[in-house]
């Protein structure tokens, strides 16, 4: 498995790289087909956020499946451990889902998240594509391409990316949302063919939004 460790606003020390590589066997033990692991360490310079000064994001690519987890702590090593705990739980869910599929259940269609770009390359690409906010929103994008711009002198940044995915059911969308560890998931409902979003509400409660135009609803 290829392991890529990068940093945002911080230098990666060799000790952290060594610890990451030694702990990746937890991933390969659950997902032996994992092809790539990307670990991003971010340093938050605001002293008011000292308790979460180090954030570790882990992304695992296994075939067409993408599993993500992240955690923050006072130091990178404890943040790494917490992120790995979340990640291995999601990987086990993926493995169990595959076992259910072999027993006759339907496995959700994988979502193509596009290529995972190392942080340095992604930042360089963003600088090359920086243009007006209007162009960022209106420009045509290819699968996996992204554009990022800053709105004038404000701290607001607009980032737009195109993902290609097969339509799926609400249950499958909820499963994908849990895999990537987000509070929401955008998808195309295969029953209605409408752009939809599933999201966490509270506890084990979820919600779903569907979007359509007045012309389609009237018909």
Q: Collect all residues with Cβ–Cβ distance below 8 Å to 203 and sequence separation of at least 6.
A: none
Write down the pLDDT at residue 207.
86
Phi, psi at 43, each rounded to 5°: -105, 125
Kindly state whether residue 114 falls inside one of the protein's structural domains. Answer: no
Domain check: are 194 and 140 in the same one?
no
Per-residue pLDDT of the chain (219 residues; tens, 9 = 90+): 999 999 988 899 999 999 999 999 988 888 888 899 999 999 877 766 666 788 999 999 887 778 888 999 999 999 999 999 989 888 887 777 666 555 554 444 444 444 444 444 444 444 444 455 555 555 666 666 666 777 667 777 777 777 777 898 888 888 778 777 778 888 899 988 889 998 887 766 888 888 887 777 665
CATH number, position 181: 3.30.505.50
Q: What is the pTM of this model?
A: 0.54
Print the domain residue range for 193.
170-218
User: What is the b/e burial string over 99-120, where b = at least 16 CB atoms within 10 angstroms of the residue's CB?
Assistant: eeeeeeeeebebbebbebeebe
Kindly state whether residue 111 falls inside one of the protein's structural domains. Answer: no
Q: How many domains does the chain have?
A: 3
Kindly state whether residue 109 falls inside one of the protein's structural domains. Answer: no
Domain boundary residue, one of 62, 77, 102:
102
Domain check: are 52 and 73 in the same one?
yes
């Amino acid at each position: 498995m290829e392991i890529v460790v990068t940093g945002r606003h911080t230098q990666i020390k060799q000790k952290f790289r060594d610890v990451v590589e030694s702990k990746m066997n937890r991933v390969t033990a659950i997902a032996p087909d994992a092809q790539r692991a990307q670990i991003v360490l971010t340093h938050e310079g605001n002293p008011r956020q000292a308790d979460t000064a180090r954030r570790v994001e882990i992304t695992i690519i296994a075939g067409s499946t993408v599993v993500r987890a992240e955690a923050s702590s006072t130091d990178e090593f404890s943040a790494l451990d917490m992120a790995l705990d979340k990640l291995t739980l999601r990987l086990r869910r993926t493995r169990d889902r595959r076992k259910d599929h072999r027993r006759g259940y339907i496995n959700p269609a994988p979502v193509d998240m596009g290529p995972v770009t190392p942080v340095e390359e992604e930042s360089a690409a963003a600088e090359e594509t920086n243009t007006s906010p209007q162009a960022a929103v209106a420009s045509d994008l290819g699968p996996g391409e992204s554009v990022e711009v800053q709105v004038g002198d404000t701290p607001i940044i607009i980032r737009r990316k195109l993902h290609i995915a097969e339509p799926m059911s609400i249950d499958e969308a909820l499963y994908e949302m849990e895999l990537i560890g987000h509070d929401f998931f955008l998808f195309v409902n295969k029953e209605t063919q409408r752009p939809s979003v599933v999201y966490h509400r509270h506890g084990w409660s979820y919600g779903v939004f569907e979007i359509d135009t007045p012309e389609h609803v009237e018909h």
